[in-house]
Amino acid sequence: MPGKKTEQKREPFSPGMRAAAEKILALLKKRYPTPHAHLNAASPWQLLTATVLSAQCTDERVNMVTPALFTRWPTVEAMALADQAEIETYIRSTGFYRNKAKHLLAAARRVRDVYAGRVPDSMRDLLTLPGVARKTASVVLFCAYGINEGLAVDTHVGRIAFRLGLASSRNPLKTEQELMDLFLREEWGNLNHRLVWFGRQICRARAPACPECEMVPFCNKNGLPT
């Protein structure tokens, strides 16, 4: 497409690329010294629920919906006994509410029946839950259990990684792998938080605030008009 930089095959990371990654991380840490989760939740189950609801929906909207939802069904066991149609009425404004309600009900029943009511703390087991893919699993593992087993790549993380040249592809799985290879494991969860905030406030999908961005001098601007 005219005006767009095309994706290129990534060669093995050079010392220069790793140095750039370290510089980007340092700048993100300076801008966001105390990263934190964006979804409000008081338990691993509530976090899993909120993260499932956040697909194709803003965190702000999810945080508006979940207080009533969690009051009505505060635990896995309560949700497992819910009526799907009633769940739908609580989450309608998050979009795709029928599929989300079906997944939440099935996930609650599986957590109750297979994992004794405790949301599992491994990627392998989380991925067996209906409606849970790697992004959701990575968020739950880090934010609920402090485990860095994956790096959640949402639209913000994927966009920024590609723009800065940290990722060679817009494919979330490839981007996740490249970021995990570039950054130390202990940084993965907080890197996600920092990139999400950066994507919302500065490196927006449309009209990025480049004049306010400390990364402009070395940003590849991949995917932006030249």
How many domains does the structure of the chain reveal?
2
- Closest listed residue to residue 176, CA positions, set 141, 198, 149, 196: 149
Burial class for 94, CB neighbours closer than 10 Å (0-12, 13-18, 19+) = buried
pTM of the model: 0.90
The predicted pLDDT at position 223 comes to 87
Domain enclosing residue 195, as ranges: 15-35+151-218
Is the pLDDT reported for residue 3 higher than 60? no
**Eight-class DSSP state of 205:** S
Which of 83, 110, 145 marks a domain boundary?
145
Q: Does residue 70 lie within any of the structural domains?
A: yes
Residue 165 sits in the same domain as residue 136: no
pLDDT in tens, 51-104: 999 999 999 999 999 999 999 999 999 999 999 999 999 999 999 999 999 999
Residue 52 sits in the same domain as residue 74: yes
pLDDT in tens, 184-208: 999 999 999 999 999 999 999 999 9
- The enclosing domain of 132 has a CATH number of 1.10.340.30
Q: Which residues are catalytic?
A: 135, 154
The predicted pLDDT at position 52 comes to 98
* Of the candidate ranges 12-21, 99-108, 112-121, 160-169, the one whose mean pLDDT is the lowest: 12-21
CA-based R_g, the chain, Å:
19
Residue 85 sits in the same domain as residue 155: no
- The enclosing domain of 187 has a CATH number of 1.10.1670.10
Which of 110, 145, 180 marks a domain boundary?
145
Residue 178 sits in the same domain as residue 201: yes
Q: Does residue 189 lie within any of the structural domains?
A: yes
Q: Does residue 2 lie within any of the structural domains?
A: no
